[in-house]
């Protein structure tokens, strides 16, 4: 197959079409300009149903030969060896934490199933924990996708399926039965469908301006939830506001001779001087200063001026996330020239997306640049200091993307949510995902493909339950493999 071509929050109940087969023959994955009329986009969306009927999205081939453990082990070959056990420990906690680390496994499964051929920018790992609040440049608390390590153009429904499956797995983890879990998934997908229909009717500029006020929406969600959940949601907004550089400094550093320094908490946080694999600390800091200086070239001039007001004074290796554990990630302490509030940056390694083997190589040679451009396309507002850089150290080239460490970033903890609250949160995530897809893809074609019936939502509901079963089986196989060493 040649390269694929571009083709109301909570409370609100592409041109090239290919066959519904496996996406194993890949080209280069990119978005391309398109100028179809509304009628042409609608026709393309309806034609996609002939290739991938809506009911086919319920399919999960549990009998297909697959080896999820081997796929996960393949990722570990490039991870920091001493951190691999941490990844295992986190993924063993529950089927949901395991699901969070299996974006590659699910990409392999999705590629073997039907696909619409309607291409947009994908998050690539759109599970419910990768949505949340953060501070916008206007200093508003907004709600959006917040993880783009796997972003790449691909069939829109792959993100929808991963979100719906995560809802079903999380629902089960919360003690809900399969009927409730399926209803949660269906409600989530239905909200995506309704939102896409709304975006299809709006001017493109309105779609790009659309965003969610996190405080307002989480307050509405709290008002519609039981007391225990409402209290947790109200607390989450307050917690998000406190997640600043100063708050992080109080938790992560101590004063040493009048300067803040990271406090060791191995293996989760290890000051650069104590990382065993590093021999020459002076060379390390020279490298890091070069990383910061050169990364700034990817910023707009006025933001480059901002970063130049700070100097790197300390660094530590930090463990982040679930799926990302073991990848190189550094927290960089930047002291301000004026002696006032410091800045905390995170430099995180960027490797090829898990989608690459199924939809093609990124048009960006630098994987950090891939992440940053995908994030800027999908988010309503991005970190003002978000940028990328390729570095070389000890003969090895590594791509990084850099952003502020916290800046109000917070993910809602859904453990303990009843089925109604989880479904409402799913609707919030679904609206957000639809907005992100509508920015980059042909929203009119996608909406026409989905139609107004419940067929797509019901099919994905069946898919979500079947994939939740598969996740439980994979989690058991992973546990057995870890136990066997």
Give the three-state DSSP class for 453: coil
d(CA 7, CA 16): 6
Same domain, 76 and 99: yes
In this structure, are residues 218 and 412 in contact, taking their beta carbons and an 8 Å threshold? Answer: yes
Residue linked to tokens 């391309």: 32
Same domain, 213 and 264: no
Determine the longest span between alpha carbons in the chain, in angstroms: 70
pLDDT at 1: 27
Helix 38-51 vs helix 443-450: crossing angle, to nearest 10: 50
Q: Quickly count: other Cβ atoms within 10 Å of residue 230's Cβ.
A: 17
d(CA 7, CA 151): 17
Residue 345's DSSP bridge partners are 332, 404
Instruction: Answer yes or no: is 253 within a domain.
Output: yes
Last-in-domain residue among 369, 404, 439: 404
User: Half-sphere exposure (CA, 13 Å, Cβ side) for 139?
Assistant: 2
Phi, psi for residue 133 in degrees, rounded to 5: -100, 155
Give the three-state DSSP class for 473: helix
d(CA 277, CA 379): 36
352: exposed, middle or buried (Cβ count in 10 Å: 0-12, 13-18, 19+): middle
Instruction: Answer yes or no: is 341 within a domain.
Output: yes
d(CA 317, CA 76): 18
pLDDT at 220: 80
Same domain, 269 and 387: yes
Instruction: Answer yes or no: is 7 within a domain.
Output: no
Residue linked to tokens 């996406």: 23
Tokens representing 332 are 């960089």
**How far is the first Cα of the chain from the last one, in angstroms, to the nearest whole number?**
39
Same domain, 341 and 432: no
Same domain, 38 and 147: yes
The tens place of each residue's pLDDT in the chain, 485 residues long, gives: 223 322 333 333 333 333 344 454 334 567 766 678 999 999 999 999 999 999 999 999 988 999 999 999 999 888 888 899 999 999 999 999 999 999 999 999 999 999 999 999 999 999 999 998 888 777 788 899 999 999 999 999 999 999 999 999 999 999 999 999 999 999 999 999 999 999 999 999 999 999 888 778 777 877 777 777 777 777 777 777 777 777 788 889 998 988 899 999 999 999 999 986 656 888 889 999 999 999 999 999 999 999 999 999 999 999 988 888 889 999 999 999 998 889 999 999 999 999 999 999 999 999 999 999 999 999 998 999 999 999 886 677 899 999 998 777 778 888 889 999 999 999 999 999 999 999 999 999 999 999 999 999 999 999 999 999 999 999 999 999 999 98
Those residues whose C-beta lies under 8 Å from the C-beta of residue 222, and which sit 6 or more positions away, are 229, 230, 231, 233, 234
DSSP class of residue 102 equals -
DSSP 331-349: EEEEEETTSS--EEEEEEE
Residue 380: name the closest of 231, 208, 182 by CA: 208
Tokens representing 224 are 């519609």
Instruction: Answer yes or no: is 444 within a domain.
Output: yes
Same domain, 215 and 314: no
- Number of domains composing the chain: 2
Question: Does residue 203 come out as left (phi exceeding 0), alpha (psi in the -120 to 50 range) or beta?
Answer: beta
Residue 335's DSSP bridge partners are 311
In this structure, are residues 142 and 422 in contact, taking their beta carbons and an 8 Å threshold? Answer: no
Q: The pTM is what?
A: 0.91
In this structure, are residues 180 and 171 in contact, taking their beta carbons and an 8 Å threshold? Answer: yes
Tokens representing 140 are 């508003």
User: Domain residues for 182?
Assistant: 28-224+414-483
User: Half-sphere exposure (CA, 13 Å, Cβ side) for 460?
Assistant: 28
Same domain, 342 and 396: yes
Same domain, 310 and 177: no
Identify each DSSP E strand in 146-238 by its residue range. 152-155, 212-213
Tokens representing 92 are 């063993």
Identify each DSSP E strand in 350-441 by its residue range. 361-362, 387-393, 396-404
Same domain, 356 and 251: yes
Last-in-domain residue among 381, 404, 427: 404
Q: Quickly count: other Cβ atoms within 10 Å of residue 199's Cβ.
A: 23
Phi, psi for residue 304 in degrees, rounded to 5: -65, -40
Same domain, 208 and 252: no
SS percent in the chain: helix, strand, coil, step 5: 50, 15, 35
């Amino acid at each position: 197959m040649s390269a694929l071509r571009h083709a109301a929050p909570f409370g609100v109940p592409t041109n090239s079409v290919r066959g519904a087969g496996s996406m194993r023959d890949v080209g280069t994955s990119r978005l391309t300009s398109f100028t179809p009329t509304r009628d042409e986009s609608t026709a393309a969306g309806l034609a996609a149903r002939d290739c991938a009927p809506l009911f086919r999205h319920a399919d999960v081939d549990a009998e297909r030969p697959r080896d999820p453990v081997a796929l996960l082990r393949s990722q570990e070959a490039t991870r920091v060896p001493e951190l691999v056990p941490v990844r295992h420990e986190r993924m063993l906690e529950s089927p949901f934490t395991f699901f969070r680390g299996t974006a590659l496994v699910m990409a392999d499964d999705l590629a073997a199933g039907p696909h619409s051929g309607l291409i947009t920018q994908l998050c690539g790992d759109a599970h419910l924990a990768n949505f949340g609040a953060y501070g916008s440049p206007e200093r508003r608390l907004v709600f959006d996708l917040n993880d783009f390590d796997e972003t790449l153009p691909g069939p829109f429904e792959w993100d929808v399926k991963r979100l719906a499956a995560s809802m079903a797995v999380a629902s089960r983890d919360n003690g809900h039965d399969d009927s409730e879990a399926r209803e949660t998934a269906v409600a989530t997908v239905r909200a995506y469908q309704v939102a896409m229909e709304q975006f299809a009717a709006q001017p493109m500029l309105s779609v790009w301006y659309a965003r969610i006020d996190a405080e307002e929406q989480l307050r509405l969600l709290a008002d519609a939830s039981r007391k225990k959940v409402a209290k947790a949601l109200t607390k989450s907004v307050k917690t998000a506001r406190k997640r600043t550089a100063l708050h992080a400094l109080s938790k992560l550093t101590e004063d040493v001779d009048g300067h803040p320094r990271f406090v060791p908490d191995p293996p989760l946080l290890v000051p650069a001087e104590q990382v065993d694999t590093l021999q020459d600390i002076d060379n390390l800091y020279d490298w890091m200063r070069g990383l910061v200086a050169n990364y700034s070239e990817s910023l707009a001039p006025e933001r480059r001026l901002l970063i130049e007001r700070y100097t790197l004074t300390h660094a530590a290796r930090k463990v982040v996330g679930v799926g990302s554990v073991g990848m190189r990630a550094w927290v960089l302490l930047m002291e301000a020239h004026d002696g006032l509030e410091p800045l905390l940056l995170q430099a995180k390694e960027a490797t090829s997306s898990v989608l690459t083997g199924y939809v093609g190589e990124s048009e960006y040679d630098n994987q950090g640049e891939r992440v940053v451009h995908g994030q800027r396309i999908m988010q309503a507002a991005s970190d003002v200091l978000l940028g990328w850089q390729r570095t070389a150290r000890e003969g090895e080239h590594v791509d990084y993307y850099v952003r502020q460490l916290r800046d109000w970033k917070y993910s809602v903890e859904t453990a303990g949510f009843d089925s109604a609250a989880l479904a409402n949160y799913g609707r919030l995530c679904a609206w957000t995902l639809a907005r992100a897809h509508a920015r980059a893809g042909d929203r009119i074609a996608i909406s026409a493909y989905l139609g107004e019936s419940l067929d797509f939502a019901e099919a994905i509901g069946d898919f979500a339950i079947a994939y939740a079963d598969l996740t439980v089986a994979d989690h058991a196989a992973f546990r057995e493999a870890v136990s066997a060493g």
